[in-house]
Chains A and B, each alone.
Chain A
């Protein structure tokens, strides 16, 4: 039982890692907490559903459509809302992200209604191994997330865009006088975060029914993961997501599963009280 919960928690944590990474990238580069992560995840889930169910594309292609569509949604949100408010400070941007979140959620509600939907994928038997039950969806989630994390890590460490993003996160004014166009980097950060959230939406849609509130179910754990890791630290976001995922699942051993989000709330509360910079706080604080 405990091993099964641990495995489930690991996969849940990996699923949380993508949106937590997206949240921390936006925070690191653009210096505000993006409350639209949940809504963008929902948008990604619906984009994939349209591609998969209505257009008949296979799930892999639908995931690419979702990533592209959500990346575009992020860029559009930046163009019409966030860029205009960039100099107004992080609180204004955070409130704006709440507005963007409501807009996205209601656009989804308008076009798709409140009914629950699911992807058109053939049912498959879970794999049984050493007494553990492993779903194909869990394997898909784990492989997808690990590949994405490797790709993002390589991008951040070795590409000019990654260096520019880290430079802007360190010191945006200095980056500007080194020839880095902050506007372009902001757009690309939104695109990258949007793509991650779109993919997270697809994986969330494999895990549960797609409805206008699917993203909200992950909102608190995403924030708990990013804060636990230290907002602004990509490695911290991933580590925080895995800890939160495992802790939430393992909490079923001691509390009813309906209350498992208590774990995320407790982590946020404890961090705010005792270690506001999170696990990788020194790095995040310096940024």
Chain B
């Protein structure tokens, strides 16, 4: 059974045209799939639709076999689907400790959420545990990204959706972020990674999905995809 599945997913904003145009996805458990594509190809809209922030106009989303298409974002988290947005992914007026607390407070009853998971997550991101009283708004971009990962992981998700985690980070932090994603996968979490930094994403992913104009134009093992070959694909016209 796929950890994450989408069938004929279509979505858009307001009364505008569809941005996501019939995307299918089957992601194996504990894999990293990267969704890449040119600007405006619908990558972020796709991942927002999976998270429930953008309503699906058609199609379905399921997590470990459970259909969550009609569920609001909060219930999708309880179903095992965590999401880290591209920007504004922590609560700046809350401290690190409060951000972490909030991540589980409304998920009581979900298996795996609790003190053990908190210990495991703080082991993954040890710098957070030492600064629990620091306001999240005072953190650097890289530190915020770690806090955002940690907050999402505290929900003990089956699937973690990451929207451009390297955006705006220095090359040093991009490397650290990618390493953190690999560590997260090693804990048994399935990761869907939307990335603009194609080379970095392909290095850690098992599979690549190329999205152009809201449609899947290529799906292949990441090791078989060369960033140099993607130019033609990115700018190809999709019917």
Contact = CB atoms under 8 A, between A and B. Distances in A.
Interface stretch (B15-23, B91-99, B211-219): B91-99
Contacts of A171: 88, 91
A234 to B, nearest CB: 11
A280 to B, nearest CB: 12
A275 B108 CA distance: 43
A180 interface: yes
A256 interface: no
A173 B94 contact: no
A176 B137 contact: no
Interface of A is mostly: helix
A287 interface: yes
Contacts of B73: 173, 176-177
B105 A164 contact: yes
B77 A177 contact: yes
A282 to B, nearest CB: 10
A164 B91 contact: no
B94 A163 contact: yes
Interface residues of A, number: 21
A131 interface: no
A95 to B, nearest CB: 21
Contacts of A182: 74
Nearest to A158: B98
Interface string B51-95: 111000000000000000000111011100011010011111110
28 contacts: A160-B102, A160-B105, A163-B94, A163-B101, A166-B91, A166-B93, A166-B98, A167-B91, A170-B91, A170-B93, A171-B91, A173-B73, A173-B85, A174-B88, A174-B89, A174-B91, A175-B91, A176-B53, A176-B72, A177-B52, A177-B74, A177-B76, A178-B106, A179-B104, A180-B106, A286-B92, A286-B93, A286-B137
Interface of B: 51-53, 72-74, 76-78, 82-83, 85, 88-94, 98, 101-107, 137, 151, 155
